[in-house]
Amino acid sequence: MAGKREAKKEDLRSRLIAAGTELIREQGLKNLRARDIAERAGAALGGLYTVFDDLDGLILHINSGTLKRLEAALNAAVQPAADVQEAFLSLSLAYLRFALAERNLWSALFEHRMPEGAPVPEWHLAEHGFLIGLIAAPLAQQFPEAAQEDVAVRARTFFAAVHGVISLSLEGRFIGITPEVLEREITALAGLLARRPN
């Protein structure tokens, strides 16, 4: 009996995550409401709170799914024998294409904020680690004499630079780059950041 109850709960959990993912994909995080998610999942509103503590808990799991898809896309983009410049270029372009294809879900990764006093769970913070690890690995191979701390700093700088250009551009900020030239500029930026750490 307990196994049947757990299976039903897991089914509801999957349906809520799928419904929330669809709604964010369609309309963005800002307009996400628990009632709409429950309705799309074919569940009562109260059912959401039997599976997740609150809407933020559900959003964390939706973002977790987005991170897994992003990780798969970035891993698929890099050839094992690529040098650091090739790896950076492949990662940058794959990141850009993911952001363009999944704009609202990608944005939700960075827009979501936990309520005041509620920390982001460690399991979710750990899920972001691949973003830096994928960048640090080719750097460390290319510059084996570089200190691990320098490699980590350069990896974070690289991510911040590429993410910043894409984010500002997709938000239409005044310093953003138009989509027509964004891929070209990301390519140039990847080349600059692949230089030896000082």
Residues in the chain: 198
Going residue by residue through the chain (198 aa), what tens digit of pLDDT does each one get? 567 888 899 999 999 999 999 999 999 999 999 999 999 999 999 999 999 999 999 999 999 999 999 999 999 998 877 788 888 899 999 999 999 999 999 999 999 999 999 999 999 999 999 999 999 988 888 888 889 899 899 899 999 999 998 998 888 776 667 777 888 888 888 877 766 655
Q: Say what the pTM is.
A: 0.90
Taking each helix axis from N to C terminus, what angle separates 103-111 and 2-27, rounded to the nearest 10 degrees?
110
Each residue of 95-113: b (16+ CB within 10 Å) or e? bbebbeebebbbbbbeebe
Q: How far is CA 165 from the centre of its chain?
A: 15
The CATH homologous superfamily to which domain 1-52 belongs is: Homeodomain-like (1.10.10.60)
Write down the domain spans for the chain: 1-52, 66-193
Please give the torsion angle defined by the CA atoms of residues 139, 79, 127 and 92, in that order, rounded to the nearest 10 degrees: 70
Cα gap 23→184, rounded to integer Å:
32
Pick the CATH number of 66-193 from 3.40.1280.10, 1.10.3430.10, 1.10.357.10, 2.60.40.420: 1.10.357.10
Same fold, 1-52 and 66-193: no
Contact 59, 20 (CB under 8 A): yes
What number of other Cβ atoms are within 10 A of residue 63's Cβ? 25
Contact 126, 79 (CB under 8 A): no
What number of other Cβ atoms are within 10 A of residue 33's Cβ? 12
